[in-house]
Structure 1
């Protein structure tokens, strides 16, 4: 693998003959185009590829937050690859080829350690009335983590697996003690919800809390 520097032709990605140019982290790299293998994939390889596709398709929905919500990313991985690896390992259930996401085990945030971890919502409660969702939490006078602040931002996510629809909300502060959201008609049916908090400077995050499965009606 070669690291490319910008020259007279500028920076671009794609294929030039047998050379493939891609962007990895903040660098552009050139690699030889892989040769197709005549060897049939093993059952284990097919199983792993299916899991990777499933985890990748699911986690790409959270690309906007993964860059900061997964901390202490290994040097040889991007934040998205780390998030995929985490959920590939823990949040996929079933047997090949019928794998499914185990939504209760999905992680959308992972602090580097206790020093960068802040509290999630305290006594979180979800109320669903028709298409209206209310997520409420209480103010914790004795937070477990010193960096937990009233100005922390709440990151809320709702996913409809059957219709492959996703919505997120990132506007509320911890001090607001609630999130209110009206879902559009296309969210009718069963949805899954998650919540985590992050500091204003994005240096601190909470663990992800799975809020549960709910039925949205109209």
Structure 2
């Protein structure tokens, strides 16, 4: 049973048939419950997009709770909502069922504080060195996020140093230094009242392959192995017959499969390099 404590025109609270009414951050909300039936392809795509988004958002909350705090202030939204919305809308690539994050388009803050130029990330023996042009408001606070997609975890440095330092070294254990790293930076004013847009610094150690990319490479290897066997047999028989096709059903079958696989390999995704 749903109740209307503020009168018939007020917000409902409770359950009514397959609807649940409640108040979230001061705003009335309604959602459905029960079995929604078989999902459509668009629904499946939306679910995967949300799953991929949340996989990253849940790991970077220590950073985004601070980087989106100013934008969320005074609204019904919170930092988690903003991080989810920006990544889902702007930083996904691919089609269902192969949706993944485009790390170069991830947004971690929005503001009017100036960013920085000459951003670099360098791999060192025991960590990474992030550097930037130190010109600008010298006492701005530097915030750095390193995302580790292979482990699906993050290294957040909320108060790295002041802008005028120009660089900051982040300690990482040896294995993590050698794994893929996606790096981001933003600047927050010393009084905490302004923040810059986040900037993607870049990638270290190459990108993590998606399940679809791995499947394509494995499939290419299998087809190439089969082709190599056929090619050896085909060319040997041609050589034995002085460069002329052998007049037999078995050879014609071999030649047909050889040509099909040769053409297939030219267009098959997953080819090395």
TM-score by length of 2: 0.60
Aligned residue runs from structure 1 range 23-172, under 5 A: 24-25=24-25, 34-70=32-68, 71-73=70-72, 75-111=75-111, 117-140=112-135, 143=136, 149-170=137-158, 171-172=160-161
Separation in 2 of the partners of 1:196 and 1:96? 32
- Work out which structure has the larger RCO, using CA pairs closer than 8 Å and 6 or more positions apart in sequence: 1
Separation in 1 of the partners of 2:3 and 2:191? 34
- Equivalent position SS for 2:155: strand
Separation in 1 of the partners of 2:106 and 2:125? 25
- Equivalent position SS for 1:61: coil
Separation in 2 of the partners of 1:186 and 1:3? 57
Separation in 2 of the partners of 1:135 and 1:31? 43
Separation in 1 of the partners of 2:3 and 2:174? 50
Pairwise CA distance, 1:200? 2.5
* Structure with greater helix percent: 2
Separation in 2 of the partners of 1:23 and 1:31? 6
Pairwise CA distance, 1:33? 8.1
Contact 1:2 / 1:30 at 8 angstroms: preserved in 2? no
Q: RMSD of the alignment, in Å?
A: 3.2
| Larger radius of gyration between Structure 1 and Structure 2 | 2
Q: Structure 1 residues 162 and 203 mapped into 2: Cα distance closer, same or farther (>3 Å)?
A: same
Gaps of 5+ in 1: 5-17, 112-116, 144-148
- Equivalent position SS for 2:39: coil
Pairwise CA distance, 1:23? 8.3
Gaps of 5+ in 2: 6-17, 207-273
Separation in 2 of the partners of 1:2 and 1:213? 53
After TM superposition, the runs of 4+ consecutive aligned structure 1 residues lying more than 6 A away are 1-4, 18-23, 29-33
Choose 41-50 or 66-75, whichever is displaced more. 66-75
Pick the aligned partner of 1:178 from 144, 167, 174.
167
Aligned residue runs from structure 1 range 191-202, under 5 A: 191-202=181-192
